[in-house]
Amino acid sequence: MLSTSEYKKLESKYYMQVVKRMPPVLIKGSGTYVYDNENKSYLDFTAGWAVLNLGHSHSHVTNAIKEQASKILQMSNLFYTVPQLSLAKIIVENSDIDRVFFCNSGAEANEGGCKLARKWGKKNLNGAYEIITALDSFHRRTQAMMAATGQPHYQDNWRPLMPGFINVKYNDLEAIKKVYKKNTTCAVLLEPVQGEGGVNVPNNDFLKSVMNFCREKNILFMIDEVQTGMGRLGTFFGYQRFKDVEPDVITMGKALGAGTPLGAFASKEFCSVLEPGDHGSTFGGNALTTAAGGAAAEFIVKNDIPSIALNNGNYLKNKLETLKEKYPFISEIRGMGLLIGLEMTKDKSTEIIQKCLSKGLLLNAVRPNMIRFMPPLNVLKTEIDDAIDILDSSLETL
């Protein structure tokens, strides 16, 4: 095995410099822990960026991958493969939608969902094509999705942006109504909780009021579940935390593949307007990735992992509230389930992240003044206690 400095030289020579990497060279993981090439352990409260909802190397997932790898890895979607259909069935049976299409990432899922919405507008709304999204949203980084993502720092280097998206204030129905245009607007796309935008939680009635407005105008109500799906907010899908909310279209990614590259978009029957030739993906619904995703989804449902996430999330929030009482510069703790943000009056996130890293805790600085927590959903309370102790010792030196 190479030394840490040798690995870093390889990265600097061969890899595009689009990521500011953290120091460890991570080699393996188990549960909530990862280990670097020097065998130092770290509590992972990023979970691969809300991907590993069951933690690293979960036996139910790894066994499914091993078994599927010995059978068939990949076939064209011209043919039937069993894992793809099994996962589609689990998704439909645990949501309010009817049909699923698999792709390779959350970005592709949002692209596909927006294509579906535009065809809906073409067929039913005299060619309407614009999609209303929110400021501080994050719908990924493809050319179209940068226009959907309402954050200028993701957009500025790529202007002029692709047309067809309007960004308005989150958690504000009147802002949506103001920009809606008959024969032009075909859909509204929102995250149930904004993760990348600062762990922003809407009012309890916001999503339902947007849904009702969409129904009134015959436009599609779309929910981006890329970060919030598969149990993270305390329900199988995040929108289910909000009473009487039923999206027409859901997009998925991250935890859907349980560590393998997998995304999906899904819709109700009435708006499933895509026909043969309208959309496709060589690797979408790949047998190996859907076997991994299916194993994880099955385990999540059978073991009620969302309820465990809700309980663990409340425990973590209470621990963070205790730190808020201790440190006056912590201004707010907010989130749902195990997607939680700690906001400060100081721009000290990077400094805190580095201190925690040196002590064996991985966290994410989602904003200069905000730290995001997204550990595996089955994290142990003792592991939460250990993480809080490390964070506490890092905060007290500010």
> What CATH architecture applies to the domain 72-302?
3-Layer(aba) Sandwich (3.40)
- CA dist 112 to 8, 323, 344, Å? 36, 42, 37
Sheet with 99-103: strands ordered across: 99-103, 263-267, 249-252, 220-224, 185-190, 130-134, 165-168
Pull the structure tokens for residue 195.
């993760």
Query: pTM, whole model, 2 decimals?
Result: 0.96
- Examine domains 4-57+305-395 and 72-302 and report if their fold is the same: no
Q: DSSP H helical segments within the chain, as ranges? A: 4-14, 47-50, 59-69, 82-93, 106-124, 143-148, 152-155, 173-179, 206-217, 287-302, 305-326, 349-358, 381-395
Q: DSSP H helical segments within 70-161, as ranges? A: 82-93, 106-124, 143-148, 152-155
Pull the structure tokens for residue 214.
């969409």
pLDDT in tens, the chain (398 residues): 899 999 999 999 999 999 889 999 999 999 999 999 999 999 999 999 999 999 999 999 999 999 999 999 999 999 999 999 999 999 999 999 999 999 999 999 999 999 999 999 999 999 999 999 999 999 999 999 999 999 988 899 989 999 999 999 999 999 999 999 999 999 999 999 999 999 999 999 999 999 999 999 999 999 999 999 999 999 999 999 999 999 999 999 999 999 999 999 999 999 999 999 999 999 999 999 999 999 999 999 999 999 999 999 999 999 999 999 999 999 999 999 999 999 999 999 999 999 999 999 999 999 999 999 999 999 999 999 999 999 999 999 88
CATH class of 4-57+305-395: alpha beta
* Residue whose pair of structure tokens reads 């309370």 in the numeric block: 381
Contact by Cβ (8 Å): 283, 74: yes
For β-strands 130-134 and 330-336, DSSP reports them as: unpaired
Q: What angle do CA 140, 232, 296 make, to 5 degrees?
A: 95
- DSSP-based three-state secondary structure for 391: helix
**Residue 193: how many CB atoms within 10 A of its CB?**
24
Q: What is the domain partition of the chain in residue ranges?
A: 4-57+305-395, 72-302
